[in-house]
Amino acid sequence: NGLICVLHDITEQEKIDAERREFVANVSHELRTPLTTMRSYLEALADGAWRDEELAPNFLEVTRTETERMIRLVNDLLTLSKMDSTDYQMKVEWVNFIKFFHRIIDRFEMTKEQNVTFQRNLPDQAMFVEIDEDKLTQVLYNIISNALKYSPEGGQVTFSVEERGKWMVVSVSDQGMGIPKKSIGKIFDRFYRVDKARTRKMGGTGLGLAIAKEIVDAHGGNIWAESEEGKGTTISFSLPYERAEEDEWS
Ligand code: ADP
């Protein structure tokens, strides 16, 4: 029995080591891509393109975009590594999720550039949950950014919140191209993208949903996706919820 335990530990450890190696390989690759792009553009500029009034601003713009991608990536990596650390602590508070969610949707509504309409199916009454507001803001930010990114011109993004037994379920639906069945289980993995080339062009890091999952897990909830190709995608997550007594919060 002792031997089996040792073997079990070894395979667990091997699995963790393999995952870590894969993660480092992915990070290196993700950083190398923008760096090599920037190097070639900078070399061209140094070799004389800087004198070309048309090429120079264009090449500088590319290096700026690539720099921004690297900053996003490094920020996402820092978020993940903070959450992975053993002394990670969340700052939880009781928050009226409905008010909080409206505020976040408002912010997207004010800044969105696409022609996309928003539909809010949120209850009128307050729903209090114990959450780390900054972390949940990031979850919603990542999910809503994707919904907008993949929405077609004139599409609709629907936000909903409902009570399901001891859970509050939050969903964001879009009418985008959807996610193939074989990929649906993987989109919460670090660095997974359905279409690498396309999403890289759209500025994604492949970490947004992995971060969202870490945060929702840390709150004791679940996150999942439902999607139909060509029709749209719904990303939902649940948080532990207990309805307050009538006058508890008044
Ligand atoms: P990224 O930064 O690439 O968007 P995410 O972790 O946020 O990374 O998402 C992982 C992948 O899941 C995306 O690259 C995309 O292929 C797919 N995906 C996520 N949300 C949607 C959506 N609303 N519609 C279609 N595909 C999506």
Ligand 1 centroid to 107 CA: how many Å?
21
With a 6 A CB cut-off, is 221 part of the ligand 1 pocket?
A: no
- Long-range contact set of residues 57-65: C-beta below 8 Å, sequence gap at least 24: 62/37, 62/38, 63/37, 63/38
75 vs 25, 109, 244, CA distance in Å?
18, 24, 37
142 lines ligand 1 (CB under 6 A): yes
Report how far ligand 1's centroid is from the alpha carbon of 225 (Å).
11
Percent pLDDT > 90 in the chain is 74
Indicate the burial class of 188 (C-beta count within 10 angstroms; 0-12, 13-18, 19 or more): buried
Tell how far the Cα of 85 is from the centroid of ligand 1, in angstroms.
Answer: 25
Q: What is the mean pLDDT of residues 38-45?
A: 96
Distance CA(170)–CA(215), nearest Å, equals 14
ipTM: 0.97
Q: Stretch 106-126: mean pLDDT, rounded?
A: 95
Question: Which of 79, 146, 172, 193 for mutating ligand 1's site (highest number of atoms within 8 Å of CB)?
Answer: 146
The three-class DSSP label of residue 148 is helix
Out of 57-61, 166-170, 203-207, 219-223, which region has the weakest mean confidence (pLDDT)?
203-207
Determine the angle formed by the axes of helices 133-149 and 97-111, rounding to 10 degrees. 40
Q: Is 208 left (phi over 0), alpha (psi -120 to 50) or beta?
A: alpha
| Cβ of 150 below 6 Å from ligand 1 | yes
The Cα 173–Cα 171 span in angstroms is: 6
Tell me, using a 6 A CB cutoff, whether residue 179 lines ligand 1.
yes
Q: How confident is the model at residue 198 (pLDDT cuts 50, 70, 90)?
A: low
Lowest-confidence pick of 57-61, 112-116, 228-232: 112-116
Confidence band of 203 (pLDDT split at 50, 70, 90)? low
Cβ of residue 232 lying under 6 Å from some atom of ligand 1: no
